[in-house]
Amino acid sequence: MLPSIDFLEDSVRNYSAREIPLGRMRESAVLILICESESELYVALQVRTNTVAHHKGEISFPGGRRDVEDLDLSVTALRETNEEMGVESDEIALIGRLDDTCTIVSNYRISPFVGLLRGVDLDGLFSKADAEVRDVLVVKLATLMSVESRVWHMVEQSGSPTATRAYSFAMDGVEYLVWGATARILTNLFHLLDLATNEDIDEEGVQQMNDFFELFEES
């Protein structure tokens, strides 16, 4: 059973996020923006352009590096969402955060925050930053959380090919793949919701997420 927006909010607010020591990494934050429209829940993702410095063409959440002017990382997440997707910060209700994760190539520690937009019209809601965002993808939460969306994506880790949890979905006849840090953040969100609703737990994906977290937690 897909959770309601109130159930999702309660689950996230009651979650105790795990933090990774910053060490020599750089601080960054992303926003998992959940949109409620006509009683359906959606997740806002973006396809990065091929002109950005890192992770060209990949699917991500809105977010980026913490600026010196940002009072905290939640400000970073909201500011970046406004800059990349055009959503005003004061329209978003922040409800909590999820576990930190990291990027290997760009050496960022990512702090994910969860925000809600209730009762919105999705048409015209987003205005993308063309230099950074190729497309905004507004995907049904039910689609991403379905067992059918779970796939494995091969990446190289420590010189060896490794299968990692990813999520596959189609929109307007185009196949999309979410992998890497964005997939780990989704796994974290889906796991806490699956636990609360007694749904089909992605044990392999969760174990891999935890193994990755512990790798940086111990470093």
Domains of the chain: 5-217 (3.90.79.10)
pLDDT band at 217 (very low <50, low <70, confident <90, very high): low
Predicted confidence (pLDDT) at residue 53 exceeds the cutoff of 80: no
Predicted confidence (pLDDT) at residue 214 exceeds the cutoff of 60: yes
**Across all residues in the chain, what is the average pLDDT?**
90
Mean pLDDT value across residues 71-93: 97
pLDDT given for residue 50 in this prediction = 63
d(CA 11, CA 5): 10
CB 54 within 8 A of CB 67: no
The percent of residues in the chain predicted with pLDDT above 90, rounded, is 68
Tens digit of pLDDT for each residue in 54-72? 546 789 999 999 999 999 9
Predicted confidence (pLDDT) at residue 195 exceeds the cutoff of 80: no
Tens digit of pLDDT for each residue in 99-125? 999 988 788 999 999 999 999 999 999
Phi, psi of 97 (to 5 degrees): -140, 165
pLDDT given for residue 162 in this prediction = 83
Tens digit of pLDDT for each residue in 2-32? 778 999 999 999 999 999 999 999 999 999 9
